[in-house]
Amino acid sequence: MRTAPLLLGAAAAAGAAAARRVARFRPVPAPVEPADASGLDPDAAAARLAELIRVPTVSSRDPGQADAAAFERFRERLAELYPHAHRALERELLPGGSLLYRWRSGTDAPPLVLMAHHDVVPVTGQDWSRDPFSGAVEDGWVHGRGAVDDKGSLVAVLEAVESLAAGGHTPARDVYVFSGNDEEVLGVGAQEAVAVFRGRGIRPWAVVDEGGAVVTGVFPGVPGQIAVVGLAEKGLLDCELVTTDPGGHASSPTSGGAPARLARAILRLDAAPFPARLHDVVLAMVDAAGRHAPGAHRALFAHARPLRPLLATALARASREANALVRTTVAVTELEGSSARNVLATRARAHLNVRIALGETVQSTVERLRRVVADDRVEVRVLSGSDPSPVSRTDTEAYAALGAAVRAVYPGAAVAPYLMVQASDARHFAQISDSVYRFMPFDLSRGELDALHAADERISVAALHRGAVFFRHLITHL
């Protein structure tokens, strides 16, 4: 996030005296002992991930378009690659094809749930430098679709479980591993898993799913690593703008027809973005990261709360990623007009993909869209929608354990709350747990993050190994 100049300008506007006061943050947690990596083989983990990448488990919104044989082959290969885990854990195949494993502890303590989906997005139309399903391991990197999102996380979890199960470890509380097969298409797998937990009266102690990562250089003034842990997700709204006309031959057009009305509606939405607000989750991220910032930045972040409106404006202007943290966003993703070159459109349509900020709802968002469009001839049709998720707690034993596992693998890293601007399977688990955390324990560069859902997705062998060490530490310190 290129926010430093704007944020420092906001600090100056708030007054130099405030910037000179001593920053008083909560104490930085004490260092922890380095995590035990015994029994974990980085190269073997990379080879197993490569094999799973070679199985093209591409999901589709049309179930008939998905390769069911590939998903079956993936489940079989998983059992072959992790025999100790499959002997120690009970495996349950949910109706839609997702996997749920249970590692019994012999106690009735609330369980830990570790999540990582195994479906991946298509590669069609992307310019890859190598076969996206080759699973190539070259020069310390594993290449291919799903290397990070999200087969890498699944492998990191299973590497930890496999090594512990091989040594006869019994966890202090039950550990569930859930792997969805339709996360990328907002499918039903996670909902089926939540229904299983509900039906059995189980409320998880904590849930850990994909989300933030260990990053460097994305927060102004903080030189070291920051582990950003997602506490909540923005809501999701899919809707259409639709307007109609009688149509006719294109040789005799009318002024202000359906395409023109639709264009005006889109431009009005573009010119009137939702207001920027600094939610408590984003404020907490600023506070947590700020404890590790030197000099002027530290003084600024110490006064984030009174500077809240200015910081919200600064973040909104800083980058598209920062802008998404502070407001509801509207993206026009599809446009449709006439079906023929010489025929006037009888119907013009635009699809809007809307990500709803915390504090707003589907209803309030739709009402504002209609107010801004301000044209009764342009209909706002809701296709589907879900409100933002609840915000998970940070004052729990589970969050402390997560932070300790981060510091055991990444000494000196700041652990900061984070708002997920994407949707994940984790949002469904927020119905049954107030400790749902979205975090991938990998140190990822900007280039690796940019390759998610794009060409040349990859993960370093070293980062994959550190992820497995993280999960091993978390499981052994329950």
Both tokens of 70, joined, read 């590939």
In a domain, 33, yes or no: no
d(CA 142, CA 457): 9
Report the predicted TM-score, pTM, of the whole model to 2 decimal places. 0.89
Q: Answer with the one of 331, 361, 386 that is the final residue of a domain.
A: 386
d(CA 465, CA 185): 29
pLDDT tens digits along 449-467 = 999 999 999 999 999 999 9
d(CA 285, CA 448): 22
Same domain, 198 and 266: no
**φ/ψ (deg, to 5) at 417:** -65, 160
Q: Which domain holds residue 212?
A: 42-222+390-476
- Pairing type for strands 99-103 and 112-115 reads unpaired
**Rounded to the nearest 5 degrees, what angle is found at the Cα of 68, between the Cα atoms of 67 and 71?**
95
In a domain, 242, yes or no: yes
State the total domains in the chain: 2
- pLDDT score for 162: 98
- What share of the chain in percent tops pLDDT 90? 81
Top-ranked range on mean pLDDT: pick from 26-35, 59-68, 288-297, 330-339: 330-339
423 or 49, which is more confident? 49
- pLDDT score for 85: 98
Q: Answer with the one of 386, 415, 448 that is the final residue of a domain.
A: 386
- pLDDT score for 292: 79
- pLDDT score for 22: 33
pLDDT at 435 over 50: yes
In a domain, 35, yes or no: no
- pLDDT score for 28: 55
d(CA 312, CA 138): 42
Residue 255 sits in a domain of what CATH number?
Answer: 3.30.70.360
pLDDT tens digits along 76-85 = 999 999 999 9
pLDDT tens digits along 189-235 = 999 999 999 999 999 999 999 999 999 987 767 788 999 999 999 99
Same domain, 263 and 370: yes
Q: Answer with the one of 386, 415, 444 that is the final residue of a domain.
A: 386
pLDDT tens digits along 255-286 = 999 999 999 999 999 999 999 999 999 999 88
Split at pLDDT 50, 70, 90, the class of 301 is confident
Same domain, 153 and 268: no
d(CA 143, CA 49): 10
